[in-house]
Amino acid sequence: MHERTAHEHGRVLEESIAGLFSSHGYSVTRNVDCVGRSGARYEVDVRAEERDVLLPRTVVVECKNWAQPVDQQVVARCALMRDDLGVAQAILACPAGAGPAARSAATAHGVTIWDGADLAERLGAQLLEELTRRSGVATTVGLSRRVGGEPAARVVRTRARGLRGTLTERVTDIGDAWLGVHELEIELVTPRGRRGAPAATRQWTTFEAVTGRALGAASEPTPVEEVELDAPQLPHAVGAAAIGGRIAGSVARLADLTQPAARARHLERLGADLIPEAVVELTVLAHRTWVFPVTLGLVRGRDAERIVVVDGTTGRLDPALGDLLTSRVAGIGAPLGWAAVLLDRA
């Protein structure tokens, strides 16, 4: 019997939900790109429009056929999409259910959750069993790998170059991997307006889990999906709680600093964590960890080695991440099965 991949699991759930709405007279589209009132773009798994002349109603459905329950960040993004698109209702279809925090968030945001019991009632127990049948490959949530294997390896090999076309370096090891990413939901309080009245905003900031460096910040959670762990995971040397404590402590200490030089150094560190200078209060509301696809190559010269990183979502090199991982080359090489490195710079 064919065992479905994580991508196929998601597609079958989308098709089943679309068929359900269609059978009840809705006009249905799948995987449609929509632009919200803010200008943000969303890929809607299922969009169903009720054909009522007087009161037409549109429903959007996010399908998360994951092996584990969805978290509150998924719920928050679903609510944000509904509000930005201006539709009547958002449904989160998740056969594995939702965690307690996610259910509380769904109640607060007005998002409807269809868990395994709900889907069995609407789609039938047999179909639900087929939807949730898993292969033996472990899964987690993250961003899908779009470029890997030999295409990514070719990009790595272009970095082994020397002067005037003479190779002074060689690529000794190449492999796909998964990089852990911690995403923190942060509430920031900053002064606004001429009177400097405090105003709170939310920011979702991502940090790689090997060294704890900030990767990016956004006004909404990252849209992750279920992925199969078909390659080694890089070791998590820094935890989400430690990162949250670091940045919250830095903001708290900033108020006690009076010397300009000390404040400047402190603000520089906060800037590296993508925290705005004007912040007066910071609270980490929640965090989650997901995986990011990369391809790593070990490039060796006469007396040194370095790691080259290819972003698995774009196929492009990431020199900054390569420099960071090079500083942990000994610890990274072991789970990838690389030969002993020349220098231990961990």
pLDDT band at 1 (very low <50, low <70, confident <90, very high): very low
The overall average pLDDT reported for the chain is 87
Beta carbons within 8 Å of 154's beta carbon, 6+ residues apart: none
Tokens 């959750």 found at: 113
**Nearest-angstrom CA–CA distance, 95 and 131:** 8
Output the pTM of the full model.
0.73
Q: Which of 207, 208, 171 is nearest to 296 (CA)?
A: 171
What does the pLDDT look like over 291-332, one tens digit per residue?
Answer: 999 999 998 887 788 899 999 999 999 999 999 999 888 778
pLDDT band at 11 (very low <50, low <70, confident <90, very high): confident
For the chain, which residues make up each domain, given as ranges?
6-136, 149-336
Q: What CATH class has 6-136?
A: alpha beta
